A and B are shown apart, each in its own frame.
Chain A
């Protein structure tokens, strides 16, 4: 039904995106095989030209690249289910990363606890960064998009300021965090031939499950969905719409904050002073859109965009400019946004199929 349609649209959009990439490659006189080569190698390390076996490091890095954008995708999707557009995942991610690092640097080094507290700090900071636009939206009806954009900048500069103040920091980064706070895991690293795969993956799985469970199974999720589908209807029914908006933004922020925690505690193990956004938040919008805001969809879309990310250097190394990878990503988002056009194509397809079947009028319109 509706979900199936969304799935078809996403798949077609991906197909069109890849096709567009192929066309561009052909037009610029490049061999489209290399696109396929790059994607396969990015996902598995399998080198189709030289042969050889699968290199688990590639798989590890592929997952590492996908984890934060799955989370920012969940963040955007969660807010979207409540009718909000969370363009602030970027800032939530940055303050999350910052809070995690600050906690990791300052908190006593108790095994396991240190790591959990640091991750939790990131989640809470992200939630706080979501709370502000949420409360401003619900109390003063300020548009969350405008506030979120501001909050992104405030988040970035605040994080930069805090990093530099931490003991052991220089102007561009903090000191390495103690091992007891790190998500890096030697077992995962040895399993994947020294990739940066880390314990963050457990948190990502938990977040995906939490997303699905909250939205689909709880009364809280029911209220959020009602608010998202029809705010006035939810209000009429007696739901606390304003409260739902605030909670929804907080949970969205928490997801993005977790992404920040995983990047800083797992991928880098130190905090980075950034001069510009890294676009995890915007990737999250693309992921949420492509994944039709449903848990499995977001995971798959996140993996796809992660794959395109890790495939880019490989494509470069076989002479395909990184811009082509970016064009494909952008085209997929564009095609998803062009749902209407794709629906027409789907309708045409289903018509062709219907012609075979006997015509049966639909009786839905009757009372």
Chain B
């Protein structure tokens, strides 16, 4: 058996932490090898070593059986290694062709020869069924298409070993299907693929082998066909995991949140949310399904008060809060777990205890006569840390920045839930978190619903929306495109609504 890539006994130390500890991964020629692990398990570090961004502390790398030293990404490209990053590296205002040839432009009489490059790209595109228009502008094509441009970029550079870093995070279910097919085609043409992911069903679907990392340590490699997802999950987490979200039947009560004909402009100054009507009742979770950029941000910002509303009304418990301040909304019973915990959710340079009181810091009991009450703050922090199991190096005095993503998220959830809001606005609550943290956070959200609170969940993870929600509203191009009970639908149907290929009712 020949191997395309062999990473042998790789160890990588960073100051104070060992990111990879004696990891061995072998990618067979012409196969798909999945690299599975939770966030922070060391997958990205390992791939960065293969791509020449880091040097291993010890261990050897072989490509096509020969020992190599990869000093920088140029070396990697020379060796036929290409990478599709999680966040695409494309120039928005350039065409597909311009993006692909960037850095190695073919010239003719000293001029960039776009035509011949475009022709070559078209050939590749046909060969692998990518269906990309070489002259389209990046800003005009979908995220799925952009990913294909990244793939073409690798192919154009004659890469034989392709690394995909979490490729499905940004795709619709249909696009994911297409990507899986494309991968199969690539294999048929003799390419070898390393797939980095934490989604088990995708591994099950396409991968031949799967290597598992946990906290930098190499756990083992399994044959995917012979291993169940449950088994792989346990290897990844190190204990038994429960995938199924346990949830009782829902008993909706009073309407807590209502929007009427809401129109909101986006950051570019055009309407991002159009004529949107929604109601969320006490004791139910309403999920907003949709692909990123279809009006979710506008909706959430309008509800929380971060953006002003163009027209329409927002009612909280019957009271019009359309034009009230952010603070007022918190006071009137809104809780908000924001999408971006670093940008909005937390002050990363604050101590953990300071982040817990961010809404109430200038009020009793945390503050008397303008002076912060340290002891009250400490006691409150201890209580939340205990109750929500927020772990960190130095407890309440930890610098928030030094905490892991999961614990940062838990801190936000603790803060928002402890205030016991009537409406909980939850956006992407588990993005980038590992299985353990996801399990916990889902339980907490359901507990809020069971306690009679109204929950509005916005998530780009379709599974999450399906698992948690009682009712689902699909957003497409700023419109409501379908509304249904979660138990009556599945990801196939939702995917059609989300991509706009099926038209739903604008209103019930």
Q: Are A and B direct contacts in the complex by CB distance below 8 Å?
A: yes
With an 8 A cutoff between CB atoms, is A365 at the interface? yes
What residues of chain A lie closer than 8 Å to B325, measured between beta carbons?
238
CA distance A234 to B371 in the complex (A): 19
In chain B, what residue has the closest Cβ to A238?
B327
At the interface with chain A, which of B54-62, B256-264, B310-318, B355-363? B355-363
At the interface, yes or no: B349 with Cβ under 8 Å from chain A?
A: yes
- A236-B338 contact given A223-B362, A230-B348, A367-B391, CB 8 Å threshold: yes
B18 contact from A237, A361, A366, Cβ within 8 A: A361
| CB–CB B17/A362 < 8 A | yes
Please measure, in the bound complex, the distance between the C-alpha atom of A125 and the C-alpha atom of B70, giving whole angstroms: 62
Question: Is A238 a contact partner of B359 (Cβ separation < 8 A)?
Answer: yes
Known: A230-B343, A238-B325, A367-B407. A218 touches B370 (CB 8 A): yes
For A195-233 the 0/1 string (1 means CB < 8 A from B) is 000000000000000000000011111110110011011
Residues of A within 8 A of B329 (CB): 238
Whether A232 and B343, one on each chain, are in contact in the complex, defined by CB atoms closer than 8 angstroms, is yes
Chain B: CB-nearest residue to A222? B361
Give chain A residues whose Cβ lies under 8 Å from the Cβ of B399. Answer: 1-2
Is chain A's binding surface mostly helix, strand, loop or mixed?
Answer: helix
B344 interface residue (CB < 8 Å to A): yes
A235 within 8 A of B: yes
B402: Cβ under 8 A from any A Cβ: yes
Chain B: interface residue count, which band?
A: 35 or more
Chain B residues within 8 Å of A238, by CB? 325-330, 359
- Fill in one digit per residue for B353-386: 1 if any A CB lies within 8 Å of its CB, else 0: 0100011011000110011100000000000000
Contacts of A226 in B (CB 8 A): 347, 350, 358, 361
Complexed CA–CA distance, A233 and B348 (Å): 9
- Contact across chains for A222 and B392 when beta carbons are under 8 A apart: no
With A223-B361, A223-B362, A232-B343 already in contact, the answer to whether A365 and B15 are too (CB < 8 A) is no
B434 within 8 A of A: yes
Residues of A within 8 A of B362 (CB): 219-220, 222-223
* Residues of chain A within 8 A of B343, CB atoms compared: 230, 232-233
Tally chain A residues at the interface, Cβ within 8 Å. 31
Asked whether any CB of chain A lies closer than 8 Å to the CB of B306, the reply is yes
Point out the residues of chain A lying under 8 angstroms from B367, CB to CB: 218-219, 222
Q: How far is the CA of A366 from the CA of B41 in the complex (A)?
A: 10
Residue pairs across A and B with Cβ atoms less than 8 A apart, 16 shown, are A220-B362, A221-B372, A225-B350, A226-B358, A229-B349, A229-B350, A230-B349, A233-B346, A233-B347, A237-B326, A238-B326, A238-B330, A361-B17, A366-B391, A366-B404, A367-B437
Given contacts A230-B349, A365-B40, 15 further A-B pairs with CB under 8 A are A219-B366, A219-B367, A219-B372, A222-B361, A226-B358, A229-B347, A233-B345, A233-B346, A233-B358, A236-B336, A238-B359, A364-B402, A365-B215, A366-B391, A367-B406
**Chain B residues within CB distance 8 Å of chain A:** 15-18, 40, 215, 304, 306, 325-330, 336, 338, 343-350, 354, 358-359, 361-362, 366-367, 370-372, 391-393, 399, 402-404, 406-407, 434, 436-437
- List 6 A-B pairs, minimum CB-CB distance, nearest first: A238-B327, A219-B362, A236-B344, A219-B367, A237-B358, A367-B406
